[in-house]
Amino acid sequence: MRHVFPCGTLALDFVGTVQERRAAVPIERIGVPGLLDSWFVESGLLDERPASDHADLRAALELREAIYLLVRARLDGDALPAGAVTAVNRRAAGVPVALWLGPGGTSRRGTAAQALTDLAREAVEVVAGPDAALLRECGRPECTQVYLDRSRGRRREWCAMWTCGNRVKAAALRARRRQ
């Protein structure tokens, strides 16, 4: 497994495919069509790789950044950017992934464009629905992952304890030991 899914919704996990956005050189996790395909399969959006091409990758990156702008606006309490709203709505109006019933159970089939439609629809639900109040950004300064805080008391601080939470706690322990 190459990708991680700590955010509570695939749309936010998709936004997290670029890490450390504020760094001089952000870390891109889906920079080639093959990585985009593997993200679709690992996320469970599709059961088989859709054979994405560079046009699909451009569309995915455009959608990812539009979703990020909408989420960022919600986090900051700002109005939603019109261009991002248009881009997400345009993608959400597409044909979704097909769910098929067969002898072995269900399967999810579709193209990269259909998977992006599903992500856009989920993003609309997150940004415009009750989950918008649960949006948080990771508390580790270098991390820019956004997640839904469904914890008891809404006190979650990190996108994932096994990554950022451990790093912050280990750094605090080292600092205490140095003193």
pLDDT 10s digits, 40-89 = 999 999 999 999 999 999 999 999 999 999 999 999 999 999 999 999 99
Q: Which long-range contacts (CB under 8 A, 24 or more apart) does 123-129 make?
A: 123/11, 123/67, 123/70, 123/71, 123/88, 123/92, 124/88, 124/89, 124/92, 126/9, 126/11, 126/12, 126/71, 127/67, 127/70, 127/71, 127/74, 127/80, 127/88
Q: Given a cut of 60, is residue 1 above it in pLDDT? A: no
Q: Confidence class of residue 7 from pLDDT cuts 50, 70 and 90?
A: confident
Measured CA to CA, the distance from residue 115 to residue 98 in angstroms comes to: 10
Question: Of the spans 5-9, 11-15, 141-145, 155-159, which averages the highest pLDDT?
Answer: 11-15
Q: Could you give the 3-state DSSP secondary structure of residue 3?
A: coil
Higher pLDDT, 139 or 101: 101
pLDDT of residue 177: 81
Report which of 89, 1, 77, 10 is spatially closest to residue 42, judged by C-alpha positions.
1
pLDDT in tens, 130-179: 999 999 998 777 888 899 998 887 777 767 666 776 666 666 667 778 88
**What pLDDT is attached to residue 155?**
79
CA-to-CA distance for 159 and 54, rounded, in angstroms?
Answer: 30
21 DSSP assignment: T
